[in-house]
Amino acid sequence: MSEQGPEPGPELEIVHLLRKVTVEFGLRQAEFAALHHMHSTDVRALICLLDAGRAGTDATAGWLGAQLGLNSAGTTAVIDRLERLGHLTRTRDPRDRRRVLLAVDERAVELGWAFFGPLIENIVAVLRDFDEQETAAVRRFLLAAHRAVTAIP
Amino acid sequence: MSEQGPEPGPELEIVHLLRKVTVEFGLRQAEFAALHHMHSTDVRALICLLDAGRAGTDATAGWLGAQLGLNSAGTTAVIDRLERLGHLTRTRDPRDRRRVLLAVDERAVELGWAFFGPLIENIVAVLRDFDEQETAAVRRFLLAAHRAVTAIP
DNA sequence: TCTATTGTCTCGCTGAGCGAGATAATATTC
DNA sequence: GAATATTATCTCGCTCAGCGAGACAATAGA
């Protein structure tokens, strides 16, 4: 296997490390899904909805489908599954009665925290030991990584 | 949406940032898959195989299935698809003729670099501007995140 | 040699997600 | 204000990824 691309230096090692983290995180997500009789897509949907709540966006079915990259049929299926499990409530938007507003059930949020909370706490704990400059470096790196990975060339 | 778990501080912001990076990275992977008539699993498989090559592990069908969390039938299907696309070669291991060794085609590696290379280069470029301590902080953070996300409680 | 055990593959099935189109509510045009 | 276009969601039928069960071949152990 001849090494392609840039020479393997300390920078590349960090990129590989970042990739490993993303891979493992995906696996934990899949475990959480299986544990609660869901699929990865369902978990991703819940995360999107929680983000929307945090950002004050109102989450409609169509919006969710766009976030997940699903078409309308697939989106309906995801919502059906989550509703059947009681993790979600459909409400018709009274202002525009075509739209369906989605609300995550409180219990689903608790399930998420029970699973991911300790994991997040671990990372947060590490960060608390970082001084100002180190935290800044991490933030700068992640912002750059996000920009690099979001760029549409 | 009442904020659960730890109070939202600068540490949590970084965790969210990390999660965003992982999500976007997954989307890029899916784009790459679609672009080359593959599925996410197929791309994950190729990545596993490349990692195995880098680490000197010989990649058999069973090993790959374990990495991907697929059963033997699903694993055979992945390998069939990749072989049909010419990204992979099956070889019976002469030492143990039950085993099938998998080798990634050079052209598939090139496709990967064409897509992910620029993205990786961007991140590497940012890291080159970091001084010793900043790089160390990023590495320490990622190692901790990896440990936190790999831990089996 | 005869019997486990291991590694891969085949078959049939379930179900996630797609395309096409139905339905209902809102916006626009005359 | 009726007629038409657009938007948001859902229904139906289909394809194909991945699963369980089991077949088959090669190796390991008695």
Residue B3 confidence (pLDDT): 47
Ramachandran quadrant class, B139 (left: phi over 0; alpha: psi -120 to 50; beta: rest): alpha
Residue A152 confidence (pLDDT): 61
**Tens-level pLDDT at each residue, chain B (153 residues):** 444 444 566 778 999 999 999 988 888 898 899 999 999 999 999 999 999 999 999 999 999 999 999 999 999 999 999 999 999 999 999 999 999 999 999 999 999 999 999 999 999 999 999 999 999 999 999 999 999 998 764
B82 in a structural domain: yes
B104 in a structural domain: yes
B89 in a structural domain: yes
CATH number at residue B70: 1.10.10.10
CA–CA min distance A75, chain B (Å) = 17
Contact B127 A14 (CB under 8 A): yes
B44 in a structural domain: yes
List of long-range contacts for A118-121, beta carbons under 8 Å, 24+ apart: A118/B153, A119/A28, A119/B148, A119/B149, A119/B151, A120/B5, A120/B6, A120/B12, A120/B15, A121/B5, A121/B6
* Domain, as residue range, for B74: 25-117
B69 in a structural domain: yes
B153 in a structural domain: no
Chain segment A15-51, per-residue pLDDT in tens: 999 999 998 888 889 889 999 999 999 999 999 999 9
Residue B2 confidence (pLDDT): 43
Residues of chain A with pLDDT under 70: 1-9, 152-153
Residue B10 confidence (pLDDT): 72
Contact B141 A127 (CB under 8 A): yes
Residue A26 confidence (pLDDT): 87
B146 in a structural domain: no
Number of domains in chain A: 1
Which residues of B are less than 8 Å from A14 in CB distance?
A: 123, 127, 135, 138-139, 142
Contact B1 A138 (CB under 8 A): no
A71 in a structural domain: yes
Residue A11 confidence (pLDDT): 79
